[in-house]
Amino acid sequence: MLSENQKQRYLRNTILPEIGEKGQEKLLCAKVLVIGCGGLGSPVLFYLAAAGVGNIGAIDDDVVELSNLQRQVIHNEKNLGQKKVLSAKEKILTLNPGVNLQIFDQRANRESLRKIYADYDFILDATDNFPSRFIINEIAHEQKKPLIFAAVKGFLGQVSVFKSYEKNNPCYACFNHNIVDENFSLPLSEKGILGSVAGTIGALQATTTIREILEIGESLVGKILIFDFLKNEFRKVNLKKNPSCKICAS
At position 189, the amino acid (one-letter code) is S
Tell me the average pLDDT across 146-154: 96
Report residue 136's pLDDT band, with 50, 70 and 90 as the boundaries: very high
pLDDT digits (tens, 9 = 90+) for 116-128: 999 999 999 999 9
Q: What is the pLDDT of residues 170-184, one digit of tens each?
A: 999 997 544 444 444
From CA 147, how far away is CA 95, in angstroms rounded?
25
The pTM of the full predicted model, rounded to 2 decimals, is: 0.94
**Percent of the chain with pLDDT strictly greater than 70:** 94
**Each residue of 87-105: pLDDT tens digit?**
999 999 999 999 999 999 9
Structural domains of the chain, with CATH: 16-182+189-238 (3.40.50.720)
As beta bridge partners, residue 237 has 224
Q: pLDDT tens for residues 178-223?
A: 444 444 454 445 578 999 999 999 999 999 999 999 999 999 999 9
What is the C-alpha to C-alpha distance for residues 170 and 223, in angstroms, rounded to an integer? 9
Q: What angle do CA 217, 171, 140 make, to 5 degrees?
A: 90
